[in-house]
A and B are shown apart, each in its own frame.
Chain A
Amino acid sequence: MNKIILQVENLRTSFFTRQGEVKAVDGVSFYVCEGETFGIVGESGCGKSVTGLSILRLLPEPAGRIVGGKIVLNGTNLLELTQKEMRAYRGKMISMILQDPMSSLNPVYPIGDQIAEAVRLHQKLSDEKVEQEVIQALRLLKIPSPEMLLRTYPFQLSGGMRQRVVGAIAMSCHPRLLIADEPTTALDATIQAQYIALFKEVQKTTHVAIIFITHDFGVVANICHRVGVMYAGKIVETASTKELFNNPKHPYTTALINSVPRLDRKDARLYSIEGQPPSMLDLPPGCRFFPRCPSALKICGEKEPPEVKLSDGHSVFCWQAK
């Protein structure tokens, strides 16, 4: 196994609103190794994006705050850094790609300048060196004739191309960890497949660790080595991608996998999970999936399930897991 680059332990992030404390991330633990892609899958509002923002410490303050846990990147607990020290980590050690390529670039600057800005923020280099780095970053993301594109403005590029430029900015300082928050959601299916293939290659050349946040199981199967399934602020099941698809243990994981439309089965109706995720302001006492769980027991509604460790790093929070 490769070296662990990021270790998140019992991370808790809350939003303090007028209605009360919203525990958006409530005790999440996982790790990512060098050259590995860890997927975080879940419905909208389950806390997966907040987990990503917490790692970068870019929560919308003062409402959002990390209230507990540890985020250890390469031996340093990020939660103990000052804002200034943290800024030096952003872009240089950890980078992030956002969901919307259409507005992730500043409309008033040519793309070459925007990548150069990221390079200059972290290294003192001569202008020629900076341009070399910029072109190298564009090459890494397989952008054709990068020298020609330096002076183009974001609006002159297609959505797929823009998202590649965003990727080039993210990779321009050779970060050790890349957080990709639904980077393919705004792209159409063919471009999406290209983009994912591109990321696999980028990872092969740079050995960067990737946290891939998505709600799309198809994408997970394609790019992730290991996956954490998130539900209402908790990771309910973690396993290697293969293990998760072949042998899901948590009823929520099973339900999610079953609700993906498939071409090889002729079901009359697509499976869907009954009910709604619980309100984050008023969580049920036991397992958070209890109200919607098809195979719930009495204890599930009373006590939170413990972590059950199965073989090969497969772990699940469920009373029924064996």
Chain B
Amino acid sequence: MNRSIRRVRANIQMTFMIPVIVLTLLIFAAIFAPLLAPHPPTKTSLPNRLLPPFFMEGGKTNYFLGTDLLGRDILSRVLYGARVSLSVSVLVILITSSLGTILGIISGYLGGRTDTVLMRVTDISLAFPGILIALLLAVVLGPSFKTVVLAISILGWAPYARLIRGEVLKIREEAFIAQARIIGSSSLRIMMRHIFPNVINPLIVIATMNVGLVILMESALSYLGAGIPPPTPSWGGMVSDGRNLIDRAWWISFFPGLAIGLVVLSGNFLGDWIRDKLDPRLRQL
């Protein structure tokens, strides 16, 4: 018994420490990219094109992770790319999760006509191909950082709204909601104080899962020319840059892909940890 409790605690520490270290390093890299990067991220150098990473034959230590088709340093671009990719995903997730949560709670708690209207709008948003909207926006507004955030957010709230509404439908039948009404709480108060804290768990889970989706969406947009305009490096854009060369120069796609993987995995671990922390039953362990 004692041992298993200790093991649980050790697991909680692990799932907390690893993602925190990884994310801290990446955020650090993003902030201090100009100091850390050995080359300017957009500087081309044709004599040094398609260099492999230093540990392979023909690699050079000053191009640590190799270079791409135009001879740009992969390491520098990954460091700079963290700025774009992390800020896009943080912004998008903040926007979509707040919007989705607010609409989901209103829809689920008030029910009736409000629910019908909001859920039909959600259905339409879910059915609409996101790439199409994004391309449309890019054409109208011109590709930029803002356009990317707006384009991914404009439909991204719908899965949150759907999921949160489902949770709220379950929670609003609980006796403690009736109890809150009995002591004289208003609907707004019930939604904010009694329903919201009870949907945080699923919210965190899908928000962290979404980190990967957002980064991939951003890369898809970059690939179609509607993303962050080149030459600004973004991880997604770098992965798609290297796609045609994957058999000859795998490192072009691999290292930014590795960075995406690390962020997604860290997000999931951190989400798990936060969920455990929020559950009062596990808090006592």
Contacts and interface: CB of A to CB of B under 8 A. Distances in A.
B47 interface: no
A88 B179 CA distance: 15
Contacts of B181: 58, 90
Given A90-B182, A122-B184, A155-B280, A103 B175 contact: yes
Contacts of B4: none
A90 B185 CA distance: 8
A8 to B, nearest CB: 18
A91 interface: yes
B198 A169 contact: no
Contact of A153 (B175, B179, B280): B280
A271 B175 CA distance: 35
Given A62-B112, A108-B198, A87 B184 contact: yes
Nearest to A108: B197
Interface in A79-109: 87-92, 95-96, 98-100, 103-109
B184 A169 contact: no
A315 B179 CA distance: 34
- Most chain B CB within 10 A, of A88, A121, A170, is at A121
A106 B176 contact: yes
Interface string A124-165: 000000000000000000000000000001010000000000
B176 A90 contact: no
B280 A103 contact: no
A98 B179 contact: yes
A211 interface: no
Interface residues on A, range: 20 to 34
B175 A90 contact: no
A155 B198 CA distance: 15
A139 to B, nearest CB: 19
B183 A117 contact: yes
A155 B282 CA distance: 11
A104 B176 contact: yes
Interface string B169-197: 00000111011111111100000011001
A103 to B, nearest CB: 4
B281 interface: yes
Contacts of B175: 98-100, 103-104
B76 to A, nearest CB: 46
A166 B112 CA distance: 30
Nearest to A173: B183
A153 B198 CA distance: 14
Contacts of B193: 117
A56 interface: yes
Interface in B91-147: 112
Nearest to A101: B175
A171 to B, nearest CB: 11
B179 A166 contact: yes
B184 A121 contact: yes
A88 B184 contact: yes
A230 interface: no
B198 A107 contact: yes
A118 B176 contact: no
B280 A108 contact: yes
- Most chain B CB within 10 A, of A91, A155, A170, is at A91
Interface in B251-285: 278, 280-281
Contacts of A106: 176, 180, 194, 197-198
A107 B183 contact: no
A113 B211 CA distance: 35
A121 B176 contact: no
Nearest to B195: A106
A88 B183 CA distance: 9
A58 B182 contact: yes
Given A98-B175, A104-B176, A91 B182 contact: yes
Interface string B229-266: 00000000000000000000000000000000000000
Contacts of A88: 184
B281 A155 contact: yes
B280 A56 contact: no
A208 to B, nearest CB: 15
A104 B176 CA distance: 4
Contacts of B112: 62
A169 B178 contact: no
A91 B194 CA distance: 17
Given A103-B175, A106-B176, A95 B280 contact: no
A107 B184 contact: no
Q: Which 3 pairs of residues, A with B, have the shortest CB-CB distance?
A: A91-B183, A90-B184, A91-B184
Interface of A: 56, 58, 62, 87-92, 95-96, 98-100, 103-109, 117-118, 121-122, 153, 155, 166, 169-170, 173
15 contacts: A58-B178, A58-B182, A62-B112, A91-B182, A96-B182, A103-B175, A103-B176, A104-B178, A106-B197, A106-B198, A107-B280, A108-B198, A109-B197, A153-B280, A173-B183
